Structure formats: structure tokens, C-alpha cells
Amino acid sequence: MTHLFTMFFNKSVLSLVLIMTVSVLAVDARPATFLQGFRITWSDSHIRQLDGGRAIQLILDQNSGCGFASKSQYLFGRVSMKIKLIPGDSAGTVTAFYMNSDTDQVRDELDFEFLGNRSGQPYSVQTNVYAHGKGDREQRVNLWFDPAADYHTYSILWNHHHVVFSVDDVPIRVYKNNEAKGVPFPKFQPMGVYSTLWEADDWATRGGLEKIDWRKAPFYAYYKDFDIEGCPAPGPASCASNPSNWWEGSSYQQLDPVAARRYRWVRMNHMVYDYCTDKSRYPVTPPECLAGI
């Protein structure tokens, strides 16, 4: 989902040194230029590097959308990026940031999908989780700010305990490891980092009622400040199972009280769709929906 990205550890240099000393494990993919860490997967004419490659612009017009992917895959860790979404009338467009195992019937995938809007309507973000090939776990949240006015940080934390989707460090979705209840959890397949900008006016805005207005094209989305901290694959086999990885630490195994309070606030005030409560699709509530946070 192209420019020069600087990937950096948010942890201190000392923490990085300690982690690397203990196990040669969490390698942070820090490209000097975008193309050193990423590859264009779709329509290179629609991806422009800005600021010497430290940011990128994705373009959607009637000819094409575009996309890119990390050159490496990762098994557990955290990935984040700053995105400025399409301003104005963006109905029918989808800007996606996700992780994907790039496998077919048993794929794992963790999705952010930003659904375009008509001017004056809220921007919605849809999250979804695929585990062992099973998806259909959509949740939608109306963002509480204008995501086209400035950059905001979107992140996915993935460890053995849960997956947490966050916006500016506010959790908007938690998918817990409920393997004990027979619910699949992504933990075997490494995943790459992807992003795309594309037209999906058959479903993206108000269920497809609002169509894309090509008179407003081209549409632009902007990205910068990628931060990937995880176990690269291929890489040391011991990395993903090492409890010394910072993202496996006790403070990351569940939401702390402040994060839990923010999460409840989002769900009470900004959630507009939850597969867990959609009785037309799931007459029996899926077991993972009963686990709380």
C-alpha cells in the first residue's frame, strides 16, 4: 500500500543493543531508500517518491490504482506507518495497509482498510483478521478526526497473545489468541507488509450506494515513517519463539488500564459495525467475540 522510508526503533538505542545481543533477533528493516526495503507490486507510474524518498504519494485515476510491499516477511512484532488519506470527496476509494502471508487457501492477514467518503461524512476504517484461511471478521470504526488533514499513525502489534490495531496509539481492535476455544490464531506463517490504493465503489462507501466521482480524480494518499520491528523470515528460527522480544513482554500481553479505557471509548462512541453482533451473518455469536479484551 512509495517514497524513501526511514524505519526506526521507537525503543532506545540501549534497548536495541540489548535485544540484538541477547538473541540476534528482532531485525528492524531500515531502508536508506524506499526501494531498498520495498518493492512496487502494481503500477509504478502511480507511485511517486517525495522528500528525497522519505515519503511517498500513491495515485488513483481512471487508468489504475497502485500498490507496494515489503521485501521481507515477518513473524510477530509491530508495524506502523504514518498516512495522510485522500481529502474531499473520496467516495468509492479504498486505501489499504495490511499484513499478508501471501498464501492461498490458508492465508493469514491483518487488515486496515480506509473507506472513502462523500465530503462532510466521517471517514471509516475497516479492520479484518484472517487466520488459517478464515476471515469474515470485519469491524468498522468512524475516525474521530479528519485523517486527510494531516498524517496519523496506524499500527499493528502482533504477538502470541493478541493482535492490536491502533490509531495514534489508541487501540481500535483487539483480536485475542483463543486457540483454547478452537479459534484459529495467526502464529505459524510470516507475513509481508502491503499497501494499496484502489477503486471499490461496489462496496466501499455506504455499501456501494455512493459511487466514485472520477471528475475529482486523480486521488492522492501519502505515506511516511515506516517502523517495522519483528522477526524477519527467513531468519533465525529461534526469533519468533523468543520471550525476550519486547513485543512479547508482560506489558504487551494485554491492554494496560489507560489503553483499555481508550479502547472502550472507541467501541462505545465510534464503532459502526461489528461482525460479532451481526445476527444475520452469525446467529450464534462467534466464540472469540465472548472473550472481552
Return the exposure string of 239-274: e unless at least 16 CB atoms fall within 10 Å of the residue's CB, then b. Answer: bbebeebbbbeeebeebeeebeebbeebbeebeeee
pLDDT category, 32, cuts 50, 70, 90?
low
Assess whether pLDDT exceeds 60 at residue 203: yes
Assess whether pLDDT exceeds 90 at residue 216: yes
Assess whether pLDDT exceeds 80 at residue 208: no
Look over the chain and give the mean of its residue pLDDT values, rounded to a whole number.
86
Residue, of 119 and 102, whose pLDDT is higher:
102
- What single-letter amino acid sits at 86? I
Q: First and final CA of the chain: distance in angstroms?
A: 29
Assess whether pLDDT exceeds 70 at residue 28: no
Which cell is 86 given? Answer: 485522500
CA distance 173 to 277: 15
248 is catalytic: no
Smallest Cα–Cα separation from 193: which of 160, 154, 159? 154
Cβ-based burial of 177 (10 A; exposed 0-12, middle 13-18, buried ≥19): buried
Ranking 1-15, 149-163, 191-205, 259-273 by mean pLDDT, the lowest is 1-15
288 is catalytic: no
Residue 120 has, within 13 A of its CA and on its CB side, a CA count of: 0
CA distance 130 to 180: 18
pLDDT for 201 equals 79
pLDDT for 38 equals 85
DSSP three-state, residue 163: strand
| pLDDT tens-digit series, residues 264-289 | 999 999 999 999 999 999 999 998 89
Assess whether pLDDT exceeds 90 at residue 31: no
Assess whether pLDDT exceeds 80 at residue 238: yes
pLDDT category, 234, cuts 50, 70, 90?
confident
Domains along the chain? 39-289 (2.60.120.200)
Cell 491483518 -> residue: 110
- Across the chain, the runs of DSSP E, i.e. the strands, are 27-28, 38-42, 47-50, 55-60, 66-84, 93-100, 109-115, 124-130, 139-142, 152-158, 162-167, 170-176, 191-199, 219-233, 271-274
Mean of pLDDT values over 81-86:
95
Dihedral angle, C-alpha 272, 198, 155, 164, nearest 10 °: 50
Assess whether pLDDT exceeds 50 at residue 27: yes
Assess whether pLDDT exceeds 70 at residue 43: yes
Mean of pLDDT values over 222-236:
89
pLDDT category, 262, cuts 50, 70, 90?
very high
List 113, 199, 229, 288, catalytic entry: 113
Which cell is 104 given? Answer: 492461498
pLDDT category, 121, cuts 50, 70, 90?
confident
Give percent of the chain above pLDDT 70. 87
Cis peptide before 218 (omega within 30 of 0): yes
pLDDT for 60 equals 97
pLDDT category, 200, cuts 50, 70, 90?
confident
| pLDDT tens-digit series, residues 175-194 | 999 998 899 999 999 999 99
List 109, 199, 210, 229, catalytic entry: 109
**Alpha carbon of residue 196 to chain centroid:** 11
